[in-house]
Chains A and B, each alone.
Chain A
Amino acid sequence: MSGWLAVLPELALALTGLAIFAALMARGDAAVKARRTARVGAVVLLAACLATLGASGDFLYHSYLVNTFSQLVKLAVALGFALSVFVTRDAAGQREDARGETFFFLLTSTAGLMLMASAVEAVALYLALEIASFSLFVLVPLRRGFAAGKEAGLKFLVVGLGASIVTLFGLSILIGLTGTTFLGPMADSLTLRLHEPAAMFGLGLFTAGFLFKLALFPFHFWAPDVYEGASHGVAAFVATASKVAAVAVLARLLSLGGFAGSALAAALAVAAAVSMTLGNLVAMVQRDVKRMLAYSAIAQAGYIVVGLVAFSPDGLAAALLYAVFYLLMNAAAFLVVARVSDAVANPSLDDLRGLYQRSPLLAATLLIALFALAGVPPTAGFVGKWLLFRAAVGSGWWWLVILGAVNSTASVYYYLVAVKHAYLLPAETPAQQRAIGLTFGDRALCYLLSAALIVLGVWPTQLLDWTQRAAATLLR
């Protein structure tokens, strides 16, 4: 039964879940115990994902596939979970009576995301998506003392359920057309029916649920409110782990076959173009740093889809690679956001003032994270965007790439405004002058994330190799 070793990450998930559950029921400060358990669990989970990186297997009547692709995505999701747990710290931003539960729901959401990476059966995929989403529906409105948190939670729920319904409807059309719920046979059947509008329509609707998670236009409305309304750690999770898994599933769905040059490709390209432009333009006028990051995320979703619409191995690999880079950049940015502000309020640009004096390390981390988001070398953002654009040019999307390049330049403006506040403008109020205390872990994480963003920016070769192999397994 050595094959069962391939589900080590899932096993680790289940055990961590039980352990956190037990910690929550223990006497004493449940939140502290849950946090410790979550931290240990995150490390175990990472180790399990690393250990099974090369594993392969086929479970549950061919509906659950373990291969290079799924394991790479699980590793990234586990990394996102670990970083988010760390950013959450003691969950001080969550409602007092639900601080420990924060870690539990983060874990269940992680479980959903990991299942998404391996599910190759449409119903399983849908269920995994719902597990991931519902946990977040619970977490987002639980923010302490932040009125907009409730609104964000409601919006997230309503828009999320809307996307869910659309996804189900698309799924029903696909099942009706192809007579199967397995993605492999479905792809074979769809390849023969590409000329049928119903096939395109069904697939287009089915992808909607995942575009929602990615916050691509026109499914982006929830993002600014949720980023703003959720507590820092939860928002970090939504911005990192959730995004990687969404990119992965989209890559899986869009690699089903034969869509290059179809109406679906054109629609995605237009959505990407609007997403980039809209996200960047609206981000320019934001004062709330988390809201700015949300609009930047909408723009970044556009860049990723530029790689996906290439419908080529290069494009899939580039999108996966960029998703991993994106996870690191955003984790770094949210780490700074969480440490600069207290848990109850969101930092505005003015709260970044004088950051270089309050904490040179946080300022440097923010600088590197923002430069990476802007796509400036030597950070990973540059090579990531280069490969996305290269893939898109390879498939003839010239206008999209030129638009993407122009957008990258425009985005530099608001990233630089944030950098300006952190590095240039002096602090004005006493609150802005207070030194920021960082734990040893915070420091280590700042150094690690900064180093990772720069090292991967100069030498992404190994990671690129993995994503290429992962993309190859998708295309069979």
Chain B
Amino acid sequence: MSGAPLLTLLVLCPAIGLLAILLVPGRFKQAVRITALLSAGASCVVTALIALRFDIHGSGFQLAEQAAWMPSVGIGWHAGIDGISLVLLVLTALVFLTGVLVMWELDTRVKEYFAFMTLLVTGVFGVFVSLDLFFFLFFYEVAVLPMYLLIAIWGSTRKEYGAMKLTLYLLAGTALVVPAVLITVKLSGVNSFDLTVLAQTTLSGHAQLVLYPMLFLGFGVLAGVWPFHTWSPVGHVAAPTAVSMLHAGVLMKLGAYGILRVAMTLMPQAAHYWAPATAALAVINIVYGAFIALAQTDLKFVIGYSSVSHMGIVLLGLSTLTADGINGAVFQMFSHGVMTALFFAAVGYIYDRYHTREIGQLGGLSRQVPVASAFFIVAALTGAGVPGFASFWAELLVFLGTLRVYPVAAAIVVGALILTLAYSIRVIVLAFFGQPHAKHPDVKDVPPFLALPRALLVAVLVVVGFWPRLVLDVVSPATHALSGLLR
């Protein structure tokens, strides 16, 4: 591959943004915001260039870049993307940009906020382009740790507890992943953490059977797999708007991506062996998340638990090990990312203005703030899998994949989708329709500048909803390669 090292450049965009933000004196708040926006804009441009350079008919990892790093201990810089990573890069760039715009009104400790946020995004981009397991986990943890400060400083509702719980859960996940990776490399007998090199070797069946659950659960913590999901709603509720967007929208995908990229690729045999178990966990995620969401009174808790439920769909798709299922899973990662970002962005505006997220204290919002309400309603409909929005295709594909392998699970999932519809409708009706609450403050609707990022997310959901091939054609070659490996 010739041309500029775009993938490295993409990781550097937020990293340079971080340095620039550190250099701007904290009292120039607007300058800090603009620097962050420039960094996000640059990330979007580079992502677009990457997408243009990407050959959707090509196979394997494209735009590969390699550099020796610590050759004596088998660590090298190896970046490369396939369709799956490309889609997630686009998602990340999108959420980064909208996240910066959504937080434009932030006024406390602005410099620190955007510094930590760009650090987090650096980590996320890094994970999606890394093909070397050292750097994969390096960036994985870079993405996790700023969360603590972002939530604990700028969050709300039990923020210290939520932040600490989230951080410890996620790091406990990596405490499983790091030894598992080291043992995998040791057993495969090569002195290299390069995924493409490791994929050439075959681990013994027994080793796979033990190591796969360590990787699945370790990464699964971040994907919100039941019963290790409890950090997720608490963390999302506590986090400030853009952090919720990034976290539920992008960070949880890192977990699913780790399972797909590391665990399933390196241990196909074990993936087969454990598939029924992981599918069962996924079904619990879907059903349990939906039930709990039905009973919540805080808008953010509803979204938090709906995320648990939706990530279950991702995990179920992966557990089918079929091309359809994995396609659906990746599609769901993308559409859930955009949808949740929209969800939290919509709620963020409402909370900023009404100072409550309690469904009981809201009501009739669609009359007072029709545009703000529309954003939330679009997200809720997407979540419910209404045709015309992106999630419909994702859920359909996962359902088709599951039907072939686990018919019972498929039946249960259809039931759960009705629940999803139920909690979505419940929230829409109670909070957004009916009579406006008497005590509502006089609130203006979303100003155009703040509506822009949210409208962008809606546009993506609708465009992909009507033209799913935009995502599917990119993802398919990669998922077919993976499901071929798993056969």
Contacts and interface: CB of A to CB of B under 8 A. Distances in A.
Contacts of B179: 389, 393, 398, 401-402, 405
B141 A419 contact: no
Interface in B77-130: 109, 112
A193 interface: no
Contacts of A393: 179, 182-183, 185-186
B171 A401 contact: no
Nearest to A420: B152
A173 B18 CA distance: 59
Given A393-B179, A405-B178, A405-B179, A464 B153 contact: no
B175 A468 contact: no
Contact of B148 (A402, A405, A416, A460): A416
Contacts, number: 81
Interface stretch (A113-121, A122-130, A330-338, A407-415): A407-415
Contacts of B112: 356
B45 interface: no
A468 B171 CA distance: 30
B69 A386 contact: no
Contact of B153 (A387, A398, A423): A423
Interface stretch (B160-168, B236-244, B286-294, B461-469): B160-168
Contacts of B139: 377
B70 interface: yes
Contact of A461 (B69, B138, B176): B69
Contacts of A378: 138, 142
B149 interface: yes
A267 interface: no
Given A376-B141, A393-B183, A393-B186, A416 B167 contact: yes
A419 B72 contact: no
A140 B195 CA distance: 51
Nearest to B138: A377
A424 B152 contact: yes
A457 to B, nearest CB: 9
Contact of A314 (B73, B142, B168, B183): B73
B178 A386 contact: yes
Contact of B70 (A371, A376, A460): A460
Contacts of A383: 134, 138
Nearest to A363: B112
Nearest to A392: B182
Nearest to B171: A409
B145 interface: yes
A210 interface: no
A371 B182 CA distance: 22
A191 B417 CA distance: 69
A382 B73 contact: no
Contacts of B152: 420, 423-424
A460 B71 CA distance: 12
Given A401-B182, A419-B149, A424 B134 contact: no
Interface size classification for chain B: 20 to 34
B174 interface: yes
A134 to B, nearest CB: 39
A401 B179 CA distance: 6
Contacts of B70: 460-461, 464
A373 to B, nearest CB: 13
A390 interface: yes
Nearest to A416: B148
A468 B71 CA distance: 12
Interface in A405-442: 405-406, 408-409, 412-413, 416, 419-420, 423-424
Interface string A443-476: 0000000000000000111001100100000000
A376 B147 CA distance: 13
A176 interface: no
Given A377-B138, A405-B175, A409-B171, A424 B153 contact: yes
B164 A413 contact: yes
A394 interface: yes
Nearest to B119: A378
A377 B179 CA distance: 16
Contacts of A314: 73
Interface string A57-84: 0000000000000000000000000000
Nearest to A405: B175
Contacts of A461: 69-70
B72 to A, nearest CB: 6
A314 B186 CA distance: 13
Nearest to B144: A376
Interface of A: 314, 356, 360, 371, 376-378, 382-383, 386-387, 389-390, 393-394, 398, 401-402, 405-406, 408-409, 412-413, 416, 419-420, 423-424, 459-461, 464-465, 468
Given A401-B179, A402-B179, A409-B174, 13 more contacts: A360-B26, A377-B142, A382-B138, A382-B141, A386-B134, A387-B73, A390-B182, A394-B186, A409-B171, A412-B167, A416-B148, A423-B153, A424-B153
The 6 closest A-B pairs by CB, nearest first: A405-B175, A393-B182, A409-B175, A409-B171, A377-B138, A402-B179
26 contacts: A360-B26, A371-B145, A376-B141, A376-B145, A378-B142, A390-B185, A394-B186, A398-B183, A401-B182, A405-B179, A406-B172, A406-B175, A409-B171, A409-B174, A409-B175, A413-B168, A416-B164, A419-B149, A423-B152, A424-B149, A424-B153, A459-B69, A460-B70, A461-B69, A461-B70, A465-B72
